[in-house]
Amino acid sequence: MSNDNIVWHQASVSHNERVERVGHQPVILWYTGLSGSGKSTIANAVDRKLFEMGCHTYLLDGDNVRHGLNKDLGFGDADRVENIRRITEVANLFVDAGLIVGTAFISPFKADRAQARELAGERFVEVFVDTPLAVCEQRDPKGLYKKARAGDIPHFTGISSPYEAPESPEVHLRTAEMSVEQAAEQVVNYLRDKRII
Ligand X SMILES: Nc1ncnc2c1ncn2[C@@H]1O[C@H](COP(=O)(O)OP(=O)(O)O)[C@@H](O)[C@H]1O
In the complex, the residues that contact ligand X under the rule CB under 6 A are 33, 35-42, 104, 139, 141, 175, 178-180, 183
**Rounded to the nearest whole angstrom, what is the least distance from the CB of residue 181 to Mg ion in the complex?**
18
Has 107 been annotated as catalytic? yes
Q: Binding partner of residue 178 among Mg ion, ligand X, none, CB under 5 to 8 Å per kind?
A: ligand X
When the beta carbons of 91 and 98 are compared against ligand X, the nearer one is 91
When the beta carbons of 96 and 164 are compared against ligand X, the nearer one is 164
**Rounded to the nearest whole angstrom, what is the least distance from the CB of residue 66 to Mg ion in the complex?**
11
Q: Binding partner of residue 33 among Mg ion, ligand X, none, CB under 5 to 8 Å per kind?
A: ligand X
**Do the beta carbons of residue 26 and residue 97 sit within 8 Å?**
yes
When the beta carbons of 24 and 107 are compared against Mg ion, the nearer one is 107
**Rounded to the nearest whole angstrom, what is the least distance from the CB of residue 80 to ligand X in the complex?**
15
When the beta carbons of 24 and 31 are compared against Mg ion, the nearer one is 31
Q: How far apart are the first and last CA of the chain?
A: 38
CB burial of 52-88 (b: ≥16 within 10 Å; e: otherwise) equals eeebbbbbbbbeebbeeebeebeeeeeebebbbeebb
Q: Checking DSSP bridges between strand 28-32 and strand 124-130, what pairing results, if any?
A: parallel
Look at the alpha carbons of 180, 165, 113, 154 in this order and tell me if their dihedral is positive or negative.
negative
**Rounded to the nearest whole angstrom, what is the least distance from the CB of residue 101 to ligand X in the complex?**
16
| 40 counts as binding Mg ion under rule CB under 5 A | yes
Query: Which one of 33-41, 95-103, 126-134, 172-180 is the stretch in contact with Mg ion (CB under 5 A)?
Result: 33-41
Spot the catalytic one: 107, 160, 168, 179: 107
Q: What is the DSSP string of 111-147?
A: HHHHHHHHHHGGGEEEEEEE--HHHHHHH-TTSHHHH
CA distances from 18 to 9, 136, 139, 163, 192 (A): 17, 40, 41, 37, 20
* Footprint of Mg ion on 68-87 (CB under 5 A): none
**Do the beta carbons of residue 56 and residue 100 sit within 8 Å?**
yes
Interface positions with Mg ion (CB under 5 A)? 39-40
Catalytically active residues are 107
